Every structure is written in C-alpha cells, then in structure tokens.
Structure 1
Amino acid sequence: MAVNVPGLVAVVVFYIVILAIGIWASRKSKKVEKTCTGAKSEVAIVGGRNINVLVGVFTMTATWVGGGYIMGTAEVVYSPSQGLIWAMGPPAYAITFLLGGLFFAKPMRSKRYVTMLDPFQHRYGNMLTAALLLPALVSDMLWVACILAALGGTMSIILGLSSTISIIISAAVSIIYTLLGGLYSVAYTDIIQLSFVFVSLWLCIPFLILSPAVTNISHTVHLNQTLGISWLGELKLEDAGKWADEMLLLALGGLAYQALYQRILSAASSTQAQVTCFAAAGAAFIMGIPSVIIGVVAASADWNQTAYGLPPPFERGEAGNILPLALHYLTPSWLSVLGIGCVAAAVMSSMDSALLSSASMFTQNIYKTTLRKKASERELQIVIRIIVLLVGLAGLGLAFGDDSVFALWMVSGDLLYCVVLPQLVCVLYFSRANSYGAICGYLVGLLVRGLSGEPLLGIPALILYPGWREVDGVKVQYFPFRTIAMLSSMICIISVSWLVEVAFRRQIIPQSWDSLGVFDEKKEAEKEQVPAPCEENNSSLNTKL
C-alpha cells in the first residue's frame, strides 16, 4: 500500500503541536516547583494539587477515552457474535466515575494522599505495598500495549504506514512530553487531544451514515446474526455470567487505577475532586457514542460496494480494526485523515497517564520510602523519568503481540479488579483490616484468578466453573470467574483480619507472635497526616490554572 503523504504530513503536524503544548506545560510545572517549599516531586505526580475543575474533567475523561475505548467499542458493536448489548465501555466508565466520586474521592483527597498506594503503606507498611505495585505495573503495561496496538492498526490502514513505525513514533512523543512535565504536561495536552477526538469523530458520523455502501441501519437491527450484519446483538441466558463479569470488570476495575486517583488527588479540595468525577462520568459516556455509531454503520455496510470488497472485515479477522476501516472506505479521504488524528490523540491521552501512573507509585511508595529514604528531590524526579521510559518501552514491546484491541483492553484491568480493588475497599472502609488479612486476600485473589485461566496469555484453566465451553480447543469460562476471584479476596481479607485480631486480643495467640506488628501499624494508621507545605503554598494558584 502506498503511503498517504498528505495524511502523513497532517499527522506529523498534529504530533508537533502536541509536543509543543507538552513542552509549554513543562515550563508551567517548573514555575510551580519554584513556589513549592515542600516535595517538588509531588508537582510532577499531583500537579501541586492545583489542577482546576475544567482541566481536571478533561484530563480524567481523556485518560479513559483511549484507543482501546474508541476502537474496542466499535469492534464489539460490529462483531456479529457480540453487538451493541456487549458494548459495555460507555455505561461502565460512567459508573466508574460516579462510584469514584461518591465513595472514593473524599476519603482519598481529604487524607492528602499522593498515590493510590499511600493508604496501604500507612497501614500495612512497605512489603505489601510493593506486592500491590506489581499488578498495577502489569496493568499499566498492558494498557499501554492496548492503546498502541489500536494506533498501529489505524495508521497502517489509513496512511499506508508500517504499524511498527507508527507505534514507535507515537510512543516516543508521549514518553517525551510526559518525561518533561509530569502531570502538568499530561493534563494540558489532554485538553487538546480530547477536544480533537470529540470534534473529529462526530464530524465523521454524517458521512458514514450517508455513504452509498451503508444500508439503512434500522433495517439491520433484527436480521439474523449469521448474516454478519445484525448490530443489536443478543444476550443469551448461558452468556449472562460472562456479560455480568465483563461489565463489573470495566465498571469496578477502574476504581483501582492509579490514573483515577492521580486526578482526584490533584484537585484543590475533596469537593472539587467529586465534581470532577461526576462531570467526567457524563463526558466519558458521550465520547463513546460515536464509536457505537461507527460499529453500527460498519455492520450495516455492504463492503462489496467499497474498494475493500469481500469477504467483510470480520471474516478476514480484522474486526479489531473496524473503526479505521470504516473511516478509510466509507468516508472521503480527507476525513479519514481526521480519523487517524483522532485515534492518535486518544492513544497519547491515555498512554501518558499510564506512564505517569506507574512512575508515581514506584517513586513515591517504593523508591522514596524503601530503597532511598534520603533521596533528594532532584533524584526522585530523575527516577520518575526513568520509570516512565521503562514502562513505555515495556508496553511498546507488548503492543506487537496481539490483534484484538478489546482483549488487551479487558486484560489490562483484570489484575486490578481481582487483586487490588478488594484491598482498596477494605483499607478505606474496613478499619479492622490488617496485614495478615491483606496478605491472605492478595494470595487468594491471585491464586483463584490464575487457576481460572487466561486464553490471551496462554494460561490454561484449572478451575472450571459451571457453563464453561471449549472454543477452538481452548477452555473458555462463561461464569463470572473474575468477580468470584475478587469476592474471594475481599472475604478473605475481612475474615482473616477479624480472626487474627480476636485471637490476639483474647490472648488465644501470644502477642509476641505478632511478627508483622499489626497493632503498631494500627497506631500509625490513626495518626493524622501533616498537610504538605506545597499544597498550602500553592492553593492560591488554583484559580490561575
């Protein structure tokens, strides 16, 4: 395929603009650092807690509206075996933000935490905190891989450019401006990126619907799915467990993402953090509507009337690239270029957040508190940049390994949902949770989830739940096995913590056997955290930003 030179030039210009905004934002970050008498590394992590509501809504929404969200939603709606009823992204993400605002924003922001792992460190110490970092790191790497894979497929279709080159260039741009400015660069580039995604996607919709190759979508609602053109989908009783599991994974798994709390903790107050979450719920839902429409249009199109021809994308195994295929073959060429810019913007807006997420947790909760307790602020900032680079390279390597954007999208939140979410709920809302229960819950969640298998990673299922089926020689679970793993972990944390406390209080077990120092940890957890000087000095800047 020949390279689309005008389209390539347009994308390069877009990348230059984004990089320039990131550099400008990094200078703003340095100005805030000069006025901050506290930990300057916190400016990179939580923006000195001076991100206003508007910027906060943009960056929070943009973090979730990534390449996986845009392309994965269109893929599911288009796929004959799934359809609209399986497009869980828009409602699930709206639920994530609503629950985040109602139950998580206030307790996290009011305690002035810096990362999601801080409450664990204050109650359990460094060992378990390091263990919880591992699934978070893996999730961020898979998330980066997911969104880069989405971009690579799009650019190769519309621009005729090698997906490998596309992925490497896009990753490099995101890494560079994240390295330079931390949360400030991420937040301000998110404004441009999300605005571009919104405008370009909605601009494409009329052209897609009015394309001569597209049948009236109302005529393809009730057609037999075996024809490959029914887009409404069907939820059979035997599939209800799988549907519920995936919906809960997307809706609740996001509550265990550091990227969410990075934005909550960057707000000037608890109330502002809650408002940001509620506004992002509506924005994220609206941003998913164009992808749904594109999937519907693609399912209603007669591909034989286009240059793509037959067989249709699903039969060629290209359902994961249905969004760029629809833009390329069903809209004018100039408009398809806007589409590639849209996916590129979505990818970078999510990738930079994932990079900064991992770097923040490692630097704040591992390096600063365990490895180098006397590290200087400059040293911490260097560590943040190194981790951003390493996570970016790891995600880059994984991006070349899978064709299904939706599959990577799902797996990226799997460990957080099964292992980290029950820990977070318990540490915030179950005052008796202790290290013994947390460790047991961690191991149980990891074990139950691992034994349930994961086809994408080639892990066979050793626990077979009711309703499992063999698909192409692989045992697939149709029972809500992820939710079982999550609930098993939570029940274990609560029950073991309670039993251990009762045993020590009633002297059933001698307190000298308290090798983890549970009671000492309780005393530490009850101490109020001292407000960061950086936050106090910078609160007046909020209205200016």
Structure 2
Amino acid sequence: MENPMFWPLMAFVALSFAVGVYTSKFVLGSGKRFLICGKAMPFLVVGTTLVAQALDGNATLGNTGLTYGGGFWSGMALPLGLGVSLFVVGRFLAAPLNSMDLITLPEFFYRRYGKKTELLVSIVTFCSFSILLAGNLAAMGWILSIVAGWSYPVALIAGTTVLFAYTIAGGLYAAIWTDFVQIYVAIAGFLLLAGWLFVTQDWQGALAALPPAHVDFSGLTSLAGGGLLNWSIIISLAFGNAVALDFMERVFSAKSGATARNACYYAGVLTIVAGLAASFAGLMAPSLIGDIADTRMVLPTIAVNHVPFWIGLLVMIGVVGASMSTCNGAIIATSAVVSRNIIQRWTTANLDDEKLLRYTRIVAVPMTIGGALFALYRPEPGLLLVLAFDILFAGCVVPLFAGVYWPQANSVGAVASIVCGTGARIAMNFLVPEELAGLDTLLPPVLSAIVFVPACLLTQSSQASRHHVVGRPAEALAPHGD
C-alpha cells in the first residue's frame, strides 16, 4: 500500500529542484555570485540560511533518536551546541570577518598566516565537511526510503541527484531560495508536533515514567549519566562550528557586519527552539511507541502513526528539507575551498571569476559522490555531526580566534597548533577509554592552545604580525606571497 505522504513529499522535492534550478539565472557566470551572492544579502535572508544550516538532519532526526535512547541532554546537546555556536560567531567573528570581503574561510588563514596555514585548514575543513555532508545525505535518504518504500541506496541516490542538480545550477542563490521553502516548513512541523503531543498526551505521566536520569541534570553533572560526553558535544559544536565553511559562506554574503551579527542571533534562537521541540518528541517516544530497535525510526514512527497526517507530513518534509539545505551548503563550501584555496593557490591555474565558477562546479561532482558513498556505508547522522566538528574544534579554533583578537599570533604557532590539535584528536580516538568518552574531544584544543602560544611568542622576531589584515578587505592590503 502506497504511503499517503509519498506524493506530497515528492512534490516538495520537485519544488525544491525547480526553485533551485531557477536561481541559476542570478549567477551570471560569476564565481563570487555563485558562492556568496555578491555580498549583498539582507538580515532575514542571511538569518534564514544560517538556521537552515544549523537545523539539519542531525539536529532533528539524530536529536530525537538520541533523546529516546539516552535522555534529554543526549539529544538536546546537538541543537544547543549549534545554537550557541551562532551566538559565538555573531558576537566574536561575524563583523570582522564579513568586513574582510572573504569568499571562503581558509582565505582568512591565508591573509592572516600565509598559504601553508591556509592549505592545512583547507584539508582539515574539507575532511570535516565531507563527514557532515555524509551525515545529512544519510538522514535525507533514510526519510525518503521510509516514505517512498524504496531501499535506502535507491532513496539516497535519488535524493542526492536532485540535490546536486540544483546546487551546481544556482550555488548559494539556490541555497537561499530553497531554504525559505524548506526550513520554515521544518520549524513549523516540529513546533506543531511538540504542541500536539503536549496538548493531547499525558506528557507529565510520560516523563514521570522515564528513568530520572533521562529528565534531570545528571546528563550534565554526572560522569555515569553521560555528563562528560554531553558537555564535550555542546562545547565542540559551540566552538568547532565557528570554523564551519557553510556558516561562514552565509556570514560573508551579508551586506554588512551588523547584518551578519544580528542574523546569527536570530538563527541561534530558532535553532534552539526547534531543537527543544525535537527533544520533547524524543522524551515522549517511549510512552508512544515502546521499545524500538533502530533509534533512527523514532521520529518517523511518531510522525506516521501518532500525530495527525498533516503534522506528520510537515515533520517528514522538514527533516528532508533541513538535510537538503545543509547538504547544499556543504557541497558549495567544500568545492569552493578545493578550487579557490588549493587548486588556485598551489597550481599554475589562474582562476578569474568565471573560471572559479567552472572549477567549483566540476569539483562538486566527486565531492557529492564521495559524500553519498560515505552515507551509504556509515548512515549515522547524529554521530557523524559530532565527529565532523570534533575535527575542527581540535585544530582550527585556536588559530581562528587568536588570529582575530591576538596581534602576536603568527604562522608558526598556527601550523603547530593545527597539526598538534588534529593529531591529538586522532590519537585520543584510540587511547581514551569508553568510560571517559568526551576527553578525546575536550583535550585536543587545550593542547593546541598550549602549543600555539609559546610557538608564537618564541618566533616574534622572525615572523611578522599580519594582524592589520583583520577587518579590512583585500583591496586595502599589500599582497603577500608566503
């Protein structure tokens, strides 16, 4: 029997495709317009695209499943960390970085530290966002497979094909236009879902029947209750997401620093509110569906069987839309990094604005295929999100914030901290015992900072400070070739 949600969901995917392809008319053969929309976007547009990047399949589908299995803080850690990251970016980074007229985030590291540091950051962020892309492709494919009755591989291939087609057509314009179609549907769906469960179910009884650790603060205060792991997720996302390529593309597209800052605050509030709604559904799930073997099925089961059709439809469409919007941004951002910060900087290719567009679209092909293959063999949305930002948190956060705010920061310290932090994170993945999970996330950035500061101070005489580049567009600076 055909799922009644099939045709509405297919119509939504078709609408996203049509809108995305239509936006190709605004690109005008320009790489800068394709990537950051000519740096002219107003508050509501930037805020909408930022919340669309934050509220992805991990923070919705992954959140609900983790809450069901481990309690409120296990799931809420994801959207809370992402929401806090938007406040951090808005308060400390949005205005100075927007003023620099950057196209990609690694470009900041080039201007501030030189091209060797830029290359390291490009490689680390590329790997991280490949994982992020895979996690959201997995969430999208999972929902499509449930609603359409297709196998997971077929659903993954179909969804990825549609997503890729409109992404390379319109770039960030496609992301912006489709975000308006997708993300407010997702937010409305989760708020209506939580509201319906609150009004029609015995939510007090449902919560009282849960183990106390699922609803109290032991998920933050007790090692046995997962406090160390949950805090590590929150902190990793809060600061690691500051090095998020897709977030920063949107910050760079804002017409001013103030616009970028306020848009971050707006997106942060919406991310946390929608995340709370998804976590509430996860807490209600045991009383509604009982035991379930696959926690990825928690949200779809509630949406299909325990709420009115139209609310369930909005939720299912919302997860697909949220995942598509994040995938769109990840494909654009990583392809731009490869073409602009690696190919252009380290080969003889001279990429003018038109060639930058062509190379970015070409690179998007293997990027998307690689993400889909990863999603096929490791379809774990929530865990993939955490891993993606652990990598960024470990090595890149310290030189980013120091580069903006500490004049003595230099390239020697930046390279040392990136190598040390990233290497420590990889090593601790094998060395830290399971009962201390979370230390492998929290310790590497500390080691990164410990290496960074003395390395900078000991090389002040041989390394010129380039702190003057912060907050200034490239046209106002003398070129440097290091």
Question: What TM-score, normalized to structure 2?
Answer: 0.91
- Correspondence for 1:25: 23
| Structural mapping, 1:489-504, within 5 Å | 489-501=448-460, 504=462
Residue 523 of structure 1, CA deviation: 9.5
| Contact 1:320-1:403 at 8 Å conserved across structures | no
Q: Which runs of 5+ in 2 are unaligned?
A: 477-482
> Over residues 360-397 of structure 1, what are the superposed CA-to-partner deviations in whole Å (9 max), with x where a residue is unaligned?
22222222233245234332211111222222111101
Residue 377 of structure 1 pairs with residue 367 of structure 2: no
Alignment CA distance shift 1:496-1:168 (3 Å): same
Shift of 1:352: 0.2
1:89-139 per-position Cα deviation (integer Å, ceiling 9, x unaligned): 333222111111111011101222222112211233222211211121111
Are the aligned partners of 2:136 and 2:327 in contact in 1 as well (CA < 8 Å)? Answer: yes
Paired with 1:330 and 1:368, the residues of 2 have a C-alpha distance of: 53
Shift of 1:203: 3.5
**Equivalent residue, structure 2, for 1:507:** none
Q: What is the distance in 2 between the residues matched to 1:180 and 1:302?
A: 42
Structure 1 residues 530, 354: closer, same or farther in 2, change over 3 A? closer
Answer whether contact 2:62 2:75 (CA < 8 A) is retained. no
In the alignment, the residues of structure 1 paired with residue 163 and residue 455 of structure 2 have an alpha-carbon distance, to the nearest angstrom, of: 43
Which of 162, 176, 183 is equivalent to 1:194?
Answer: 183
Whether the 8 Å CA contact 1:438–1:493 is kept in 2: the answer is: yes
> What aligned pairs does 1:237-252 form with structure 2 within 5 A after superposition?
237-238=222-223, 239-252=226-239
Q: CA deviation at 1:210?
A: 6.5
Give the CA deviation at 1:232.
5.2
- Find the residue that maps to 1:184 and give its secondary structure: helix
CA positional deviation for 1:161: 2.1
Distance in 1, Cα, partners of 2:284 & 2:413:
50
Who is 2:33 aligned against?
A: 43
Answer yes or no: is the 8 Å Cα contact 1:72–1:409 preserved in 2.
no
Deviations 1:311-350 (A, max 9, x none): x11xx2x112311121122134565343322211111111
Q: Is the 8 A contact 2:409 2:456 kept in 1?
A: yes
Equivalent pair of 1:106/1:273 in contact (CA under 8 Å): yes
- Match for residue 261 of structure 1 among 248, 258, 261: 248
| 1:167 CA displacement | 1.4
Q: Structure 2 matches for 1:281-360, cutoff 5 A?
A: 281-301=268-288, 303=290, 312-313=291-292, 316=293, 318-333=294-309, 335-360=311-336
Is this contact kept in 1: 2:126–2:334, CA < 8 A?
yes
Change (3 A) 1:259 1:527: closer
| Counterpart secondary structure, 1:399 | helix
User: For 2:62 and 2:217, how far apart are their aligned partners in 1?
Assistant: 16
Match in the other structure for 2:140: 151
Query: Relative to 1, partners in 2 of residues 1:526 and 1:256: Cα closer, same or farther, differing over 3 Å?
Result: closer
- Closer/same/farther in 2, CA of residues 197 and 526 from structure 1, 3 Å limit: closer
Asked whether the equivalents of residues 140 and 319 of structure 2 are also in contact (C-alpha less than 8 Å), the reply is yes
Q: Cα deviation per residue 1:250-304 (whole Å; 9 max; x = unaligned)?
A: 211111101111111111111111111111111212222321221122122254x
Q: What value does the CA root-mean-square deviation take over the aligned residues?
A: 2.5
Asked if 1:63 corresponds to 2:53, the answer is: yes
Deviation at 1:415, TM superposition (A): 0.6
Which whole-Å CA distance do the structure 1 matches of 2:60 and 2:310 have between them? Answer: 20
Q: Is contact 2:425–2:441 with CA below 8 Å preserved after alignment?
A: yes
Q: Deviations over 1:413-453 (max 9, x none)?
A: 11111111112112222222222212211221122111111
Q: Which of the numbers 110, 118, 121 marks the counterpart of 2:99?
A: 110
Paired AA for residue 400 in structure 1: L
**Counterpart Cα distance in 2 of 1:199 and 1:526:** 39
Aligned residue for 1:432, secondary structure, equals coil
**Offset, 1:405:** 2.2
Q: Percent identity?
A: 20
CA–CA separation in structure 2 for the residues paired with 1:47 and 1:232:
45
Distance of 2:21 and 2:75 partners within structure 1: 40
2:151 to 143, 156, 162: 162
Matched residues in 1 for 2:243 and 2:20: separation?
27
Of 161, 165, 172, the residue aligned with 1:176 is 165
Given that residues 437 and 492 in structure 1 are in contact (C-alpha distance below 8 angstroms), is that contact kept between their aligned partners in structure 2?
yes
Choose from 486, 511, 514 the match for 2:445. Answer: 486
| CA gap 1:525/1:83 in 2 versus in 1, 3 angstroms | closer
* Matched-pair contact (CA < 8 Å) for 1:92–1:250: yes
- Residue pair 1:182, 1:356 contacting (<8 A) in 2 also: yes
Structure 2 Cα separation of the partners of residues 527 and 335 of structure 1: 45
Aligned to 2:411: 435
Q: How many residues align?
A: 473
Distance 1:29 1:55 in 2: 17
Q: CA deviation at 1:3?
A: 4.4
Asked whether the 8 Å contact 1:69–1:288 carries over to 2, the reply is: yes
Distance 1:231 1:369, change over 3 A: same
Report the Cα offset of residue 237 of structure 1: 2.5
- AA aligned to 1:250 is L
CA distance in structure 1 between the aligned counterparts of 2:153 and 2:313, rounded to whole angstroms: 19
Q: Partners of 2:227 and 2:313 in 1: how far apart?
A: 39
Distance 1:268 1:300, change over 3 A: same
Contact 2:100 2:471 in 1 (8 A): no
Q: Per-residue displacement from partner, 1:1-33 (whole Å, max 9, x unpaired)?
A: x542x4322222111111111122221232xx6
| Within-5 A mapping of 1:80-99 | 81-84=70-73, 87-99=76-88
Residue in 1 aligned with 2:369?
Answer: 393
Aligned equivalents of 2:308 and 2:15: distance in 1?
24
TM-superposed CA distance for 1:240, in Å, is: 3.0
* Native 8 Å contact 1:62 1:350 kept in 2: yes
Q: Quick one: distance in 2 between partners of 1:499 and 1:233?
A: 44
The C-alpha deviation readout for 1:207-230, integer Å capped at 9, x for no partner, is: 54567xx6x22123344639xx95
The one-letter code matched in structure 2 to 1:285 is I
Provide the residue aligned with 1:16 in structure 2. Answer: 14
Q: Which moved more, 1:60-69 or 1:361-370?
A: 361-370
Structure with larger Rg: 1
Contact 1:148 1:167 in 2 (8 A): yes
Q: Give the direction of change, closer, same or farther, for the CA distance of 1:339–1:522 in structure 2 (3 Å limit).
A: closer
